[in-house]
A = this chain, B = another copy of it.
Amino acid sequence: MENEMYSGIFTPIVTPFDSDGKIDFTKMDHNLERWSDTKLSGMVVAGSNGEAPYLTIEERLLLARHVVERCPKKTILLGTGCESTETTMALNSRAADLGVQGVLVLPPHYYKATMTEDVLFRYFSDLADASPISMLLYNIPGNTGIHLSAQLVKRLAKHEKIAGIKDTSGNIVHLSEMIHLINDPFSIFAGNASYLLPALVMGAAGGTLALANILPDDCCRLRKLYQESLFQEAAGLQLQMLDINRLVTAQHGIPGLKYALGLLGYKGGETRRPLLPLSREGKESIQAALTQYGALK
């Protein structure tokens, strides 16, 4: 049973930087204007694709305020997960003050062996108890090395402030098990476009998709095809997305995504170090994939 505010397609937006490594708000605004004109339900600010680990706390908040002001019709989430409970808690409070609708929270993950289910349950519960706004859990074991089990998520879903999860585990059975186990209002999002349709079919509320930075309309269209029971068309579109999606996520990461934005009339800007600019070979493969896809001529 999904939460109304948390359904549809969200995109974790990139943060364009200028050549001095500063946030480039001109480029940001260019993108925001375009995304505002789409059917996207919302945006995640300072998520993984926003280079959150390379942003200061103040920068995250600055970005949040900026996006909230410019995109009044979209649901805006802020990525706030830090390693310490206190830091994340304080950030959640300040995020609420700025008017973001919810926060997306990574599990702490540096001390992997110590991050037992009890520790994780307590971490998220403590945050939820203190949070003025709703929270989404963020399961991305490829980056954190921590997997939020279906049983843990079920326990957390009982908290009224915990409204959903972005599941980037890529495991459709795990996603299905959460849907099966959880009876509370709770929105489960596919965390990567490569399995959006399977997730929707099993009952996901939507997707929070890096790919929606560059192909927001098509991501929304895939969901619409599903909702209209046009499964063959939906499956065809899903299959067509696989190549370009892989290139701008798993294979080339943020440098790939920013390069693709530039090709499609958005403004990706620079990345922050240690990320390096995309290789020539990477650029060529993305250009070829976007052409093959039909997004470039």
Contact = CB atoms under 8 A, between A and B. Distances in A.
Interface stretch (A35-43, A70-78, A261-269, A273-281): A273-281
A30 interface: no
A180 B293 CA distance: 13
Count of this chain's copies in the oligomeric assembly? 4
A286 B48 CA distance: 39
A176 B59 CA distance: 39
A239 B180 contact: yes
A201 B235 contact: yes
Given A172-B195, A275-B119, A113 B85 contact: no
Interface residues of A, number: 60
A297 interface: no
B231 A201 contact: yes
Contact of A85 (B115, B123, B273): B273
B173 A53 contact: no
A112 B143 contact: yes
Interface string A94-127: 0000000000000010111111001110110010
Nearest to A203: B235
Given A115-B274, A180-B242, 6 more contacts: A53-B111, A111-B143, A113-B250, A113-B251, A119-B276, A176-B198
